[in-house]
Chains A and B, each alone.
Chain A
Amino acid sequence: MSNTLAVVLGVYLTVILGISIWSALRTKTEEDFIAAGRTIGPFVGGAVLAATQISAGTVVGTVGRHYLTGVSWWFIWLGVWAGWLVSAFFVAPKLRRFGALTVPDYIAARFDSETARALAAILIVVSYTVYLVAQFQASGEIARVVFGMKPLTAMLIIVSSTALYTLLGGVRSSSYIEFLQTLIMVAGLGLAVPVLLSHAGGFSQAVSFLRSLDGRLLGWYYGPKELLAFGAAFSLSIAAAPYEMTRFYSMRDERTVKQAIAVAIGFQFFIGVSVLAIGLLTRVLFPNLPSPDQASSIMAFEVLPPLVGALLIVAMVSAIMSTVNSILLVTGASVAHDLYGRFLRPDASESHLVMVNRIAIVVLAFIPVYFALQEFGDVQAIVVEQAKFIASFFFVPVVIGLNWRGGTASGAVASMVGGFSACLAWELTGQRGFASHGIDAVEVGVVTSLILFLVVSRYTKPVAEQNLAIFFRQPRR
């Protein structure tokens, strides 16, 4: 590790520790811990939403995917933004108005069902543990290239430091830290692209080389059906993503949420274009790396000048930390607030629930480390798989449930269980014929979930009007 990197990393860690301690001093209640007292404004909120979206999947996985497959992967961003827009117009305002602390809170209130709450909480914990595997695997890759460190050591350092700042200040500290992380990311990527372009000898030379190296890099490596499936996985999962919704709850009001989403899309557009350029330019400079997941760290460590490289490595590490932090907040809240606080100790005090939340965060942080060490696939592949499952069990009860009065508790439970099971079954069996049939697990999962939701809701007991009144302006006649 160079001295510059050590200094930059040291300064950054000191700053986030300072923010965490400052936030801890201002965190008094469960609402403070999970929703930052609902005080976050549009610019900070937008940067926070961008940071929660920009994870190891982006800085390691997406760079690697562009490195390996070229331009066509960029079109999945359209799915990401479509998901944000659905969220901005059909999900976020209603959830923000409802003012829940967690997504299972919404599920329980909308469908008047504690079973649906428990199921949602369990599915959140399982699927986001898979997402954490991708984050930890990425940290292992960065550590191997940059620090010459064993992946396990790196994962333990990431887990410990992230769990610490999550434990200290909850959403308030993570919001300000993620704001800082987005700024670092934008600065690092913005400066990296011209340096790489200059090293590669200019735009036309780079394009000409890539076209000759593999014609598909600048064309259609993935066909429309594959891109549609990947885009749908991201789009449908983001529209209903619990860890992003938690951030809506922490914002001042509905208007702030919409403005923040617009700001987040702006940040993501910049980051998406930069990540595409970095993946392709790293392929020009190092045409044959042993693993595509190494592209971003090799670029930062071996190509960029010391300060920019250090800044980008800090941005990568911080992207992993921010995502780990967001997920831990959501999974910790699912365990403490939705399972423990509702079913095991309904009479628990707020301070007791905050303590249980903190213990859950520590436990849930360490479980994925084992799976990350097995390296089941590249980082982006794990992220895509996780997105497919989230979309399959959450899109229908959250997005359709918020916009169609007819959904019932049994419909929601059937939809979640059916969507998850169908996605899993297709992954294990029918997915192998993906290339020939063009039908992906996410499409099977979401369609199954939707059919079950509509059919079961049609024949089961409707939800009481008082539950629906919170979410629907016009009462049913």
Chain B
Amino acid sequence: MIGILGLTVAGIAAATQLVTVAVDVTIDSGRAVVDARYRFQGPIDSVRLVLIKLRGQSVRMLSTEWTLRESAGLYEFGVAGAASSLPLHVRYEINGAVDRVPMFVPSIATAPGTSRVEIRVIGVGDFSVKDGFPRFSDDGRGGLVARPDNVPSLILLPRRGSLSINRLADAMVALLVAFGTAIWLARYWRRRTMSTSTSIPTPSPNRTP
């Protein structure tokens, strides 16, 4: 049926897999250095890796094997032929606002339940772990670690004390539940009161003694 609907998006239904991804991000005052290793499995013709372009940042490749192409919304490079079956090791540097750090996402997807993605962040001094994306936890060595099922296009580490949309949204849920319960109780109480008051039989004006 997928064929019937004309769905052919490269990578999404590919037989090849992205087996492991290990990303180390080192953040240091307005600069982030990203060291990412990707390992694939299966026959591969080519891989396209894309990096989201974020406002207020510049990107510099530290790996010299590939040349970045730039378009309005992303940077990208492609690896063709035999090279793509090798583990890819990509290093790059982000300068500017580093509360969001972009990640290279390959066109070959992970496989549910078998692939392993691990992102470690070092130098997280004043960033908030709770509100980060993907879900980070302390790695016990002063850094953070996240193990999402798939490769995200970016990691997000809001500064501590800043207004967090996550907390705001969670607070809204609590408010909505409280508000909804209050409305329901008020309606229930009103109905009860009305049914009690109307349950007293009233004499009909037409009734003759």
Contact = CB atoms under 8 A, between A and B. Distances in A.
Given A201-B100, A209-B74, A290 B169 contact: no
Contact of A68 (B7, B166, B172): B7
Given A199-B133, A378-B2, A288 B11 contact: yes
A292 B9 CA distance: 10
Interface string B147-186: 0111111101000000001110110111010001000000
Interface stretch (B27-35, B48-56, B85-93, B190-198): B48-56
A198 B156 CA distance: 10
B6 A226 contact: yes
Contacts of A385: 1, 4
Contact of A286 (B4, B55, B150): B150
Given A195-B165, A302-B135, A303-B133, A212 B173 contact: no
A464 interface: no
A460 interface: no
Interface stretch (B59-67, B107-115, B120-128): B107-115
A10 interface: no
A222 B153 contact: no
Interface string A184-200: 00010001101100110
Contact of B173 (A145, A187, A205, A286): A187
B72 interface: yes
Contact of B50 (A287, A304, A308): A287
A463 B149 CA distance: 62
Contacts of B109: 288-290
Interface in A332-385: 376-378, 380-382, 384-385
Interface residues of B, number: 50
A382 B4 CA distance: 11
Interface of B, secondary structure class, is loop
Given A298-B149, A308-B170, A381 B5 contact: yes
Contacts of B134: 302-303
Interface string A291-320: 110100010001111111001000000000
Nearest to A290: B109
A289 B153 CA distance: 11
A306 B149 CA distance: 17
A209 B73 contact: yes
A68 B13 CA distance: 11
B105 interface: yes
A39 interface: no
Interface of B: 1-2, 4-7, 9, 11-12, 50, 52-55, 71-74, 100, 105-113, 131, 133-135, 148-154, 156, 165-167, 169-170, 172-174, 176, 180
The 8 A-B pairs of least Cβ separation, nearest first, read A377-B1, A208-B73, A212-B73, A305-B166, A209-B73, A381-B1, A307-B170, A212-B71
Interface of A: 68-69, 144-145, 183, 187, 191-192, 194-195, 198-199, 201-202, 205, 207-214, 222, 226, 284-292, 294, 298, 302-308, 311, 376-378, 380-382, 384-385, 427, 431, 434-435
18 contacts: A144-B113, A183-B180, A191-B169, A199-B156, A202-B55, A205-B55, A209-B73, A286-B151, A286-B152, A287-B105, A288-B11, A289-B109, A291-B112, A305-B167, A377-B1, A385-B4, A427-B4, A435-B6
